Copies of this chain bind each other. A is one copy, B any other.
Amino acid sequence: MRRASGGIIVWLTGLSGAGKSTLAAAVRDVLAQDHAVEVLDGDEIRAHLSRELGFSRQDRETNVRRIGFIARLLARHGVIVIAAAISPYASTRDEVRAIARAEGTEFVEVFVSAALSTLIDRDVKGLYRRALAGQVKHFTGISDPYEPPLGPEVTVCTDHESIQESTAKILKALADRRVAISVELTG
């Protein structure tokens, strides 16, 4: 029986606008030189697999579990999966981690941290302005909870680190955990 090499799930959690997608792409671009990599973006997965779901706690948890299910399927075949999803509830992230680990898949939680005030100032998509005006219900950090990880494998602070610095932190954590990943650290 052919056994695929164990993959790894890199789970980026954090507020909207904190830089999850940007970091996911940056990490992917480095790893993809030598590895099979797939980015699972929370918004994209919603569009493909969870269009009927809303933003209640239950629906958010369902979406996170679905991302976890697909991530595990891919990781089982040796793919490095980078999930970028707000995933606001600690218990749901821990559940995904526990199931992955039980299957022999490494799980690296990355807390993409940025001060809410910075995100409100930046507000690239204008979402915070609308949320603060009460025009977007269930907006994480404003009108919906976000539970920061208590013991993330990596924390990056995108409000005072460069993308290169944050990327390098994540790559180093992967290199520390997996002999197979040997990347040139550029940050």
Choose from B34, B66, B76 the contact partner of A49 (Cβ within 8 Å).
B66
A66→B69 CA distance, assembly (Å): 13
Residues of B near A34 (CB, < 8 A) are 2
A49-66 vs B, CB cutoff 8 Å, 1 = contact: the mask equals 101110000000010011
Residue A125 interfacial (CB < 8 Å): no
Residues of B near A35 (CB, < 8 A) are 2
Copies of this chain in its oligomeric complex: 2
Residue A124 interfacial (CB < 8 Å): no
CB distance from A52 to the nearest CB of B (A): 6
Chain A positions 48-91 with a Cβ under 8 Å from a chain B Cβ: 48-49, 51-53, 62, 65-66, 69-70, 73-74, 76-79
CB distance from A88 to the nearest CB of B (A): 20
Tell me the nearest residue of chain B to A37, going by C-beta.
Answer: B2
CB distance from A169 to the nearest CB of B (A): 23
Residue A1 interfacial (CB < 8 Å): yes
Residue A183 interfacial (CB < 8 Å): no
Residues of B near A73 (CB, < 8 A) are 38, 70, 73-74
A109→B2 CA distance, assembly (Å): 25
Residue A4 interfacial (CB < 8 Å): yes
A76→B70 CA distance, assembly (Å): 14
Residue A33 interfacial (CB < 8 Å): yes
Chain A positions 1-58 with a Cβ under 8 Å from a chain B Cβ: 1-2, 4, 32-36, 38, 48-49, 51-53
List 21 contacting pairs A-B, 8 Å CB cutoff, sorted by A. Answer: A1-B32, A2-B33, A2-B35, A2-B36, A4-B36, A36-B78, A38-B73, A48-B65, A48-B66, A48-B69, A49-B49, A51-B62, A52-B52, A70-B70, A70-B73, A73-B73, A73-B74, A74-B74, A74-B77, A77-B77, A77-B78
